[in-house]
Amino acid sequence: MKANTIGKYRWVIVALLLFALTINYVDRQVIGYLKEFFCRPTAKGGFGWSEIDYSNVIGIFILCYACISSLTGWIIDKIGTKLGLALSLITWSVFGILNAFAGSAVLVHIILRGFFGIGEAGGFPAVNKTIAEWFPKKERALAFGIVNSGTNLGAMIAALFVPWCLIYFGDQLGWKMAYILTGSVGFLWLIFWFRSYDHPLRHKKLSKEEFAYIHSDDANLTTAEVEMQKVKVPWLKLFQYRQAWAFFLGKFMTDGVWWFYLFWLPDYLRKQFGMDKHEIMLPTFIVYGISIIGSIYGGAIPLRFMNKGWHVYKARMTALLIMAFFPLSILSAQFLSNKEIFGSMASVFAVAVICIAAAAHQAWSTNIFTTVSDMFPKKAIASVTGIGAAAGGLGGYVIAKTSGFLNEAYLSHPQTAYLIMFIFCGLTYLLAWGIMKLLVPKFKPITDL
């Protein structure tokens, strides 16, 4: 079947999901640029938070995100992606806006950020299930790579918009406006979502040719296998499979790295190079912009291998292995940031290796998500993804608490705290890949759910 006769409506769905994740990450990233104000002494107009206070607010967000992710995946498998993603977005948008009215009380921020995390927990399970429903296996990594670039677009927008709010409105009003304005955008997206989305079985704009192409992987299924896909999956049964544990542990070990880049990169640039809110905008924008290349290109790598005749699992794991080597570049970040050796270029060199590591993470993330749809039936994808997101969130919580502890412990020498964190961020991908390969040495799809 020629590409021009298939139809392209599935890419409209990708665009909708792309903007959903962009909004998700704009809202999520706001607090990273408010850290300096929140942790500024009260005598200088700030909230006077400690590093531990900030890490507790971040940590409870990640912990609630982690704990609820497995449940939201199960719920989305039950109610479907159209309603599931909409409810998720409404929840995180409402509590994102309410954060503007929290004042300086750490406890209030913790409570609101916890509910915000509960809302955001539905994002990736809904996205992954939607892609599995709308794309054949060979296109899923590319589709997810495009959608996953929304995490970078969101971070890029936040890198410019939140500092602008602080500059334009002033710190005292700017932090509130950052929460209100970013939280409001999601309600505009809902209009397009409800007008344009439906399941492929019910969508009026989907051609028969494109529907057949989307379901081309099912052409060789037996009648018994088709009937098996209709049976609901017992949630606890998923833990019986090595394939599930490979995904869970891979997410646990690597997701926290991205959380670290999101919530501590602005702080690193301030402490390492003395950058102010104006100067931070460009390097953080560049880091997340470069990461888009990793997200999209990472999804294209296994597709190239598969087009050469490689089996889907071999192609996916090879792509993951390639990407696992690139984060090693961040091990040199603190050496390259030495102004005595590299002068004014120190910040440029340090940001460059962070760009490489962040882009590699996004390429890794794109491929590890699609291992779920490679090996599990569609009816279980949101549940498995949700549990994996929970595992990744728990890893992120460990990273958040560790970062807060190290920054507090090395308050006068933050370079040491970030050196320790960069060592972990550089090495964890190869270790995660080894564990995943050990658990699932050969491709083995789940056929008995």
- 303, 142 Cβ separation under 8 angstroms: yes
CA atoms within a 13 Å half-sphere pointing along the CA-CB vector of 89: 29
Classified as helix, coil or strand, 273 is helix
pLDDT of residue 5: 67
pLDDT of residue 230: 53
- CA separation for the pair 413, 99 (Å, rounded): 31
Q: 75-79, 425-429, 435-439: which range is least confident on average?
A: 75-79
Going by C-alpha positions, the residue among 125, 115, 120 that lies closest to residue 76 is 125
pLDDT exceeds cutoff 70 at 2: no
Neighbour-count burial of 6, counting CB atoms closer than 10 A to its CB (0-12 exposed, 13-18 middle, 19+ buried): middle
Lowest pLDDT segment from 50-54, 122-126, 152-156, 433-437: 122-126
The angle subtended at Cα 75 by Cα 152 and Cα 132, nearest 5°, is 55
Structure tokens of 226?
């088709």
Architecture of domain 12-196+241-439: Up-down Bundle (1.20)
* Amino acid identity at 75: I
Q: What is the DSSP letter of 234?
A: P
Place of tokens 């790295």: 257
Length of the chain: 449
Tell me what pLDDT residue 379 has.
76
Dihedral of CA atoms 194, 195, 196, 198 in degrees, nearest 10, equals 50
208 pLDDT higher than 50: yes
Amino acid at residue number 170: G
At 206, is the pLDDT very low, low, confident or very high (cuts 50, 70, 90)? Answer: confident
Which of the 8 DSSP states describes residue 83? H
DSSP SS3 for 448: coil
- Spell out the domain ranges in the chain: 12-196+241-439
pLDDT digits (tens, 9 = 90+) for 218-244: 655 554 444 455 556 667 788 888 888
Vertex 348: Cα angle to 412 and 357 (nearest 5): 85
Query: Position 145: which residue type?
Result: G
> Is pLDDT of 303 > 90?
no
The residues, ordered by sequence, that sit 6+ positions from 116 with a Cβ below 8 Å of its Cβ are 27, 61, 64, 92, 95, 96, 99
132 or 61, which is more confident: 61
Go through 417-440 and write b for each residue having 16 or more CB atoms within 10 A of its CB, e for each that does not.
bbbebbebbbebbeebbebbeebb
Q: pLDDT tens for residues 95-109?
A: 999 999 999 999 999
Output Rg (C-alpha) for the chain, integer angstroms: 22
